[in-house]
Structure 1
Amino acid sequence: SIVFVMNGLIFMLIGLQLPIITQQLGDIGLTTAIKYGLLISLALIVTRLLCAFGAALFTRIASRFITVADPNPGWKSPLIAGWAGMRGVVSLAAALSIPVVIQGDQPFPYRNLILFMTFIVILVTLVFQGLTLPWLIRRVNPTDRFNSIPEQQQEIIIQKKIAQYSLQFLEEKYDGKVFSNEHVNNLYARLKLDLDFFNQEMEEITNVEESTLMDYQRMYLDLLDRQRKLLHEMNGRMEFEEELIRKYLSLIDFEEYKVREKMFLEESPV
């Protein structure tokens, strides 16, 4: 790209000017100037790493107040982000912006030393950090924590947690009414069945072959259809109140919706 070509030209010009800069270091030797440049490079690398981990810590604290903040950013991503802090043309432009002379036509003190140390910093960060970055990524082996669980499994986990929380809530707050109140008891039993169903779904995802799971889904849909026909027959004979019949028809429809949605997600291409 054009940016890559321009960067290459700028660094080529740096290389052409470097001999002149080294000759004009003044009373500071070349070895001392290199040491200064390496020390500044080390300070920059450490500072950037500290800032990266500090930002991760701030994100963790902010997650208590901001829901979109990551509550557990880990250490791998901040380490890679901190190590990837290469310096380039911007650092050189900042150094070149130093005036050549100041008031009284006096040369700016240690301007060439600053330019030389900037070149050392660019060299260390681009060459050393740039070449070691792929090795660091392989060693750290970062993982995508947000997409590691398939969407289908995430839905089951969410529904399972809702059922678990609901059962725990009823047991803790309405323990005395769970079995004494018929309606609450039915709700509790319903949640218990849902929890068992989701546990079975999780086991099937990890242990059961796809063909076996599809057979189960087809048989379950057939069973729901038979239950629906039975309710319609009961409603036709007017054995029970129509409102109650419609209630259980709605529950069957909801069960069928969950199964068919699961089948659709499995058949959809990833």
Structure 2
Amino acid sequence: MDGESTVLLVLATVVVIVVIHRISERTGLPAAALKTLVGIGYAFIPGPHMVLDPHLILTVVIPPLLYSAALDSSLVAIRRNLGTVISLSVLLVLVSALAVGVSFDLLVPGATLAVGVALGAAIAPPDPVAALAVGRRVGLPPRLLTLIQGEGLLNDATALTLLSVAVAAATSGSFSPGATALQFVLASVGGVAVGLLVATAVRGIRRLWQDPLTLNAVSLVTPFGAYLLGEALHVSGVLAVVVAGLVIGHDTPRRVSGASRLQVDAVWRLVDFLLEGFVFLLIGMQLPAVVAGLGQYDISTVVLASLLTVGVVLLVRPLWLVLTLLLPQSLHTRLGRADGDTADRPEDSRDRAVERFSGRELVVLSWAGTRGVISLAAISTLPMTTESGAPFPLRDLLLFCTYLVVLVTLVGQGLTFAPLVRALGLHANAADQARLQNRARAEAAQAGLEQLDELEREDHDPVDRQMINALRNQLESRLRKYRQRLDVLANSSDGVPFNPHYEAGVRAQRAVLDAERERLVHLRDVGQLPDSGLRVLEREIDHQEGLLPTPARR
């Protein structure tokens, strides 16, 4: 494509992303599935098309998406659920890849174990973008969101490392379990080390500069720096990006000013919005190219390979979840009864976290395994030939099977995920979340009052005392408001009770801010306020408006 065609295609892509996002908001349908279907439709229209470049995807697209997701994650929550996260992101990936490899080796003509494991490694890691978007919209419990997000952050590193090992075995014809395990461990440990190193460097930069624009620039280049450094050292660049993002995100509240956090958050929300939209449209556009390479295979081979691939992906995940989460629950319950119900002891909190998984939660976690662009990018990195110069076995068939899995899970599971969650009646306890937040607000206000007591003891200036008293009145007013909310929430078992006075107050505050904004714009229009002054004052109003909650719907 020439430069003009490229610009037109980019502009059209942005327009499509915005329109689909609007449709998704109004209909409740998952945007990821809609974009994929639109991409498939566009693929059959004559004109310029985008071709998936695996190295470009892995180097330019995946690092910022993973980094943004890591910044938005909770290191504390992932650490609290680390056993389950590792089970899903490491062990389940290995089991899934091995299951695909064994089934291909036994049943698909021309396949070997290494070839099957390469396919399994590509399709094993779920892409949580679609599931998380739907899960947040329907109000999934925070722990399930943490598990889905934590799995999606760490499983890519496992899959890509395993893929490189399987490809090396398939092209060379040799396989050493010991060497494979050692390579996997070194890549993982090295990736963690590189991520910590990058996070430490960013922390040092934050100490030197607090300028929002500088920190934005540093934030944007961090995922690429972590990934490229990891790959240059022959360790997991993906894991380096994730670890750097988790540590930096955890450290941000202490190291970054409020203005910088607002800007960085806004920038990454835009990056996510555009990159995710581009990725899902790109997935749909690959269908003609993927199907074109199937002519060399028998129909029976294509059908068998397709059924095996999709079947293993859809069956292994729920079986693994049942074996690792449900059976330990039954075993723990029996042990608890035999030992005087030790499940109620504080020291057994980790076991009680496992025990709280219900059948409905297992169903939701099972159905959250949507695959995405990293699977296509990974399988597209397969070499065309082996070391002996022979064509890589079944390469086009592996590409088609991967695409089919992505399509089935992204569209099939993506479109049915929200109805499934609603049918199961699984949602977060809104009252518990509101109580937690208001209790934290009350604690913060109390800390502010205690700090004012310290300032009052240290300073005896009358002017300062007036300022301290004014601040004290504000904090005490906020503290009373939070405690009143806690009293109301104490009598609510699930939903947040509708408070007409509170909602009326929010609407009144919004109306006042709108009136202030309109008056400032009028002053600008009649020449009594320069545009630079308008922007400063309007920003102040925007920040006040950002503190207001969204009015609840009755």
- In the superposition, the TM-score normalised over structure 1's length comes to 0.49
- In the superposition, the TM-score normalised over structure 2's length comes to 0.25
- Look at both structures and tell me which one has the larger radius of gyration over its CA atoms: 1
